[in-house]
Homo-oligomer: A and B are copies of this chain.
Amino acid sequence: MNFPARADLIEVGPRDGLQNEKNLIPTENKLQFIKALKEAGFNEMEITSFVSPKWVPQMADAEEIVRYGSAAGRNIVLTPNEKGLQRALDNDCRAVAFFVGASNTFNQKNINRTTEESMNSLLPLIAKTKDRGLFIRACISTSFYCPYEGKIEEEPVLEICRQFADAGVDDLSVADTIGMANPQEVYSLFSRLKQEFPETLITAHFHDTRGLGLANVLAALQAGVDRFDTSAGGLGGCPFAPGASGNVATEDVLYMLQEMKIETGISLEKVLKAVNSIEPFLNKAISSKQYTLWKAQTAEKAQ
């Protein structure tokens, strides 16, 4: 078994994690969450989204988050379209993320465009962004399974990645959006991605919907992947399966990497404290393994 000696975790909790959260969280508390996570050691973070507040009220404070939450590291903001990109540029953002669904149906239900229409509108935006020297990440959702179409083949995903890579995208975040991929599928697709795009950062984005999150991280590591999107507390995730958990939890991935002696530069204890600071503002209890253990141990010590 071969593994990288070091892996980077890209914390997506403040953006991907909170965007579907029903309770509107005060900006001040989001900023504290971001600060606590940065102090835990993350160099890269998705901090907010320049989306329409009409569709995603939770992200209505994107400007403030960018202004007060961008100290140190790479602060990535999601920009779904030209308008979002313009807001990011107006606010001096230095790293942006675009997204597209590999599944046509998913993309249509999500943003009312076919995958091809999305690509056609994103590629000119990427060219414009690249001219300005920003760091560009592309998020390819439903890269393994789609809730409407079922299994997504590797070739169309690779073709999307080719177009992004040719356009100069720095980072391809390839996502198992509904948490249905298995380790074999993960190993297969990421091996091909690592082979075909040696000059591009390749990030694996997993959901723990059906419990395979860490097994899939293990398979991706074996395929040579050394970048993972993770969400503190396992926040977020598409609400397609009742009872399902969301993004793979930062603290659970971090624990496994630590045990495997794969260096991340991130403090598990500080991540757990950051999770603890945001939990009171959430509409649900956090059920990640490490947080559950930490809370039980903390309660025991207090007795």
By the criterion CB–CB under 8 Å, are A214 and B211 in contact? Answer: yes
A217 neighbours in B (Cβ, 8 Å): 215
Q: Give A245 to B289 CA distance when docked, in angstroms.
A: 9
Q: Give A1 to B242 CA distance when docked, in angstroms.
A: 32
Over the window 229-256 of chain A, the binary record of Cβ atoms lying under 8 Å from chain B Cβ atoms (1 yes, 0 no) is: 0000000000001111100000010011
Residue of B nearest to A287 (CB): B287
A294 neighbours in B (Cβ, 8 Å): 243
Residue of B nearest to A255 (CB): B210
Check: A224 CB closer than 8 A to any chain B CB. no
Check: A283 CB closer than 8 A to any chain B CB. no
Contact of A260 among B180, B183, B244, B293 (CB under 8 A): B183
Check: A264 CB closer than 8 A to any chain B CB. no
Q: How many copies does the complex hold?
A: 2
Residue of B nearest to A291 (CB): B243
Q: Which size bracket describes the interface of A in this complex?
A: 35 or more
By the criterion CB–CB under 8 Å, are B211 and A242 in contact? Answer: no
Check: A166 CB closer than 8 A to any chain B CB. no
Check: A295 CB closer than 8 A to any chain B CB. yes
By the criterion CB–CB under 8 Å, are A290 and B211 in contact? Answer: yes
Q: Give A184 to B244 CA distance when docked, in angstroms.
A: 28
A243 neighbours in B (Cβ, 8 Å): 292-297
By the criterion CB–CB under 8 Å, are A182 and B260 in contact? Answer: yes
- Known contacts: A210-B293, A256-B212, A259-B212. The answer to whether A183 contacts B218 by CB under 8 A is yes
By the criterion CB–CB under 8 Å, are A210 and B260 in contact? Answer: no
Over the window 279-303 of chain A, the binary record of Cβ atoms lying under 8 Å from chain B Cβ atoms (1 yes, 0 no) is: 0000000001110111111011000
Over the window 201-238 of chain A, the binary record of Cβ atoms lying under 8 Å from chain B Cβ atoms (1 yes, 0 no) is: 00000001011101101110010000000000000000
| Given A1-B183, A184-B260, A242-B300, 8 more pairs with CB closer than 8 A | A182-B256, A208-B289, A210-B290, A210-B293, A211-B252, A214-B215, A218-B218, A242-B297
List residues of A whose CB falls within 8 A of some B CB.
Answer: 1, 3, 180, 182-184, 187, 208, 210-212, 214-215, 217-219, 222, 241-245, 252, 255-256, 259-261, 288-290, 292-297, 299-300
Question: Nearest 10 CB-CB pairs, A to B?
Answer: A243-B296, A211-B289, A182-B259, A242-B296, A214-B215, A215-B218, A243-B293, A242-B300, A215-B215, A1-B187
